[in-house]
Amino acid sequence: MEKVKTLIIGSGPAGYTAAIYSGRSGLDPILYSGLQPGGQLTTTTIVENFPGYPQGVDGNQMMMDLREQAARFGVIIRDGSITKADLSSRPFHLTDDRGNEIEAETLIIATGASAKYLGLEDEEKYKGQGVSACATCDGFFYRKRTVAVVGGGDTACEEALYLSGLAKKVYMIVRKPYLRAAEIMRKRVEEKENIEILYNTNTLGLFGENGVEGANLVKFKGEPNEEKFDINIDGFFLAIGHKPNTDIFKGQIDLDEQGFIKTIGNSASTNVEGVFAAGDVADPIYRQGIVAAGSGAKAAIEADRFLLKG
């Protein structure tokens, strides 16, 4: 049984920043990088809105920089995942995907969230080449171009409105005959001149030689009046929600209705003493790398203070 003062699960900006702070505080942390080392930022191409990179930076490169910085402070970084967690008593008892068991005095959960996709092969094919799940991250690349947003809720409306300030035209591809969003959001997108809402519409696929150039759509799918048609677009944005990676903690820690970890007030503390949450796993609102990094610092500082209190 391996014993550790601080175990960090996840390796996006939150996990790595927590590791940097914990390492510098002498907590000898161990970090498990998880199924997607580097987190969601590794699925984008250029990150332009993270301070300190005036020319922008490749998402993978940025995560490698953070990893190297964490290693410099003695953090033990392991590829692989934590598959079981028992948070019923301290020290916490965790098991990794190789069956190794760890006892942790404090735990920082930075497992992130996964964007929901439609499940089309083309989404994978064009990921980073026109397919995105973050308008705030990638919208800038589509200035004066044509894009589509998939979804009909508040998030989809927000993304469409944000993109409408950059793009020449925005299509909203909505499965239902109406928008599920709040009335004020519905009104805003309906009144925006360069947003066209395609109701009762599903995406069948995407096409393009060097990245996304268009989408194959179907209206009234499976109905007698079914109609297939194509639209020309340069970008395809998913806005059908995010699923927080919290399955192994269900029933052990307070989660909201969507499965995001609830933190207490403005802290990174959870309802379980000694367990802290950082990044997108506890953030259904902002979902930005810089916010995640900040919350990782908070979690590490709080873990250190918790250990000092004894």
Q: How far is CA 119 from CA 137, 201, 205, in A?
A: 22, 16, 10
Residue 273 CA: distances (Å) to CA of 6, 29, 139, 265, 303: 13, 18, 40, 14, 10
Cα 172 to chain center, whole Å? 21
Total number of residues shown for the chain: 310
DSSP state of 260: P
Distance CA 12, CA 289 (A): 8
> Which residues, at least 6 apart from 234, have a Cβ–Cβ distance to it below 8 Å?
130, 142, 145, 146, 147, 211, 212, 213
| CA atoms of 147 and 33, how far apart (whole Å) | 33
Residues known to be catalytic: 134, 137-138
